Amino acid sequence: MTEHEITAQIVAATDLDALEAVRIALLGKSGSISALLKTLGGMTPEQRQAEGPRINGLRVAATDAIAARKAQLEGAALEARLATERLDMSLPAPATPRGSVHPVSQVMDELAEIFADMGFAVATGPEIEDQWHNFTALNMPETHPARAMHDTFYLEAAGGEEAKVLRTHTSPVQIRTMTSQAPPIRIIAPGRVYRSDSDATHTPMFHQIEGLVVDKGIHLGHLKWTLETFLKAFFERDDIVLRLRPSYFPFTEPSVEVDVGFSIEKGKRVLGGTGGWMELLGSGMVHPRVLRACGIDPDEYSGFAFGVGVDRLAMLKYGMDDLRAFFDGDNRWLKHYGFGALDVPTLSAGVGA
């Protein structure tokens, strides 16, 4: 076997599998070069002196030639793949862009813009939540009747662990925020929430936005000002009037239900004025027990929180009346109520897009 014969075999391999077969036939455990190397042991020192360099030379030549051929074949394979994956980036875009931004996305962007201007950061949390974050830390222990108020979706419990839930509200993000950062805290948390409920105004998945402020000396006045400023900016009207009513939520004390005044214009309800009241959101001062559960000293810090339905805000602002249509994916609805991709809400241009 000469070096020439060996390289001929290697070069003849037309793909990586064939090359590997040649490598095994030459250098594998029972390959021909390996067999030659084994004969060195039985030679006289003189024979070995002559044969050693020759056989080793064959091994080195084979190894080098295989590496070179491998690089060549891999390069060719890559070239071939790149050629098939070629994309023609010069294809023209459709004359009129299709698709639209869903009103829920639009409203969430509007809210983020409004609250960013007031110094709020956006926080997030998981949609599959543990019961401690969703209930217990929010002052709803296992036996608390308020747990039954949420028609909770429970997940199947994994091996001896407590069952997780699909979060029933965005309030657990309050807990995640307070356990991971120290006050002062100013966040909003928009996102999907889930409850086993379905009719014209309820869907099993809907959207909420949570607000949380924790600092020294925070009181109900801060809450009222924040909500008023937010709602005036959101509905783009200066005559938004709020009415705060005492209420109950386990995680706030005192708890406040907020109504917003509306008036009738051309036979339609529009927000603003005090012709009538509609319930809009829940809020209150963060319960000392909730602060304590998160390791925050309620003697030093206080906070307010609120939670509001994003879909409901969208319906009130943009005039839809059936919540279910939000999630039907009907193109006609999306075309009618959707927003252009470039209608980015900004305070200066009006968050109404």
Site for ligand DAH contains 337 (CB under 6 A): no
Applying CB under 6 A, which of residues 183, 272, 303, 307 lies at the interface with ligand DAH?
Answer: 307
DSSP string spanning 196-210? Answer: S--BTTB-SEEEEEE
C-alpha 99: how far from its chain's center?
21
Integer Cα distance of 284 and 224 in angstroms: 10
* Contacting range for ligand DAH; rule: CB under 6 A; set: 91-99, 120-128, 271-279, 299-307: 299-307
For residues 149-165, b (16+ Cβ closer than 10 Å) or e, as one string?
ebebbeeeeeeeeeebb
> Interaction with ligand DAH in 157-196: which residues (CB under 6 A)?
169, 171
Q: What are phi and psi of 138, to 5 degrees?
A: -90, 25
Site for ligand DAH contains 210 (CB under 6 A): yes
Q: How far is the CB of 119 from ligand DAH (least distance, A)?
A: 18
Applying CB under 6 A, which of residues 58, 233, 258, 305 lies at the interface with ligand DAH?
Answer: 305
C-alpha 39: how far from its chain's center?
65
Q: How far is the CB of 187 from ligand DAH (least distance, A)?
A: 11
Other C-beta atoms within 10 Å of 307: how many?
Answer: 23
Site track 93-132 with ligand DAH (rule: CB under 6 A), x = hit: ----------------------------------------
Site for ligand DAH contains 306 (CB under 6 A): yes
* Contacting range for ligand DAH; rule: CB under 6 A; set: 64-72, 214-222, 232-240, 282-290: 282-290
Per the listing, tokens 């409004």 go with 114
Per the listing, tokens 């009129």 go with 96
* Contacting range for ligand DAH; rule: CB under 6 A; set: 105-113, 197-205, 269-277, 301-309: 301-309
Give the total of residues touching ligand DAH (CB under 6 A): 11
Applying CB under 6 A, which of residues 109, 252, 260, 337 lies at the interface with ligand DAH?
Answer: 252
Which of residues 23 and 167 has its CB atom nearest to ligand DAH in the complex? 167
Per DSSP bridges, beta strands 242-249 and 252-265 are antiparallel
Which of residues 106 and 177 has its CB atom nearest to ligand DAH in the complex? 177
Which of residues 100 and 152 has its CB atom nearest to ligand DAH in the complex? 152
Integer Cα distance of 330 and 335 in angstroms: 9
Integer Cα distance of 283 and 223 in angstroms: 8
Q: Whose CB is nearest to ligand DAH?
A: 307
Q: Nearest Cα to 290, choosing from 179, 146, 187?
A: 179
CA dihedral 337, 342, 347, 348 (to 10 degrees): -130
Q: How far is the CB of 169 from ligand DAH (least distance, A)?
A: 3
Contact 233, 351 (CB under 8 A): yes
Q: How far is the CB of 123 from ligand DAH (least distance, A)?
A: 13
Residues that bind ligand DAH (CB under 6 A): 169, 171, 210, 249, 252, 282-284, 305-307
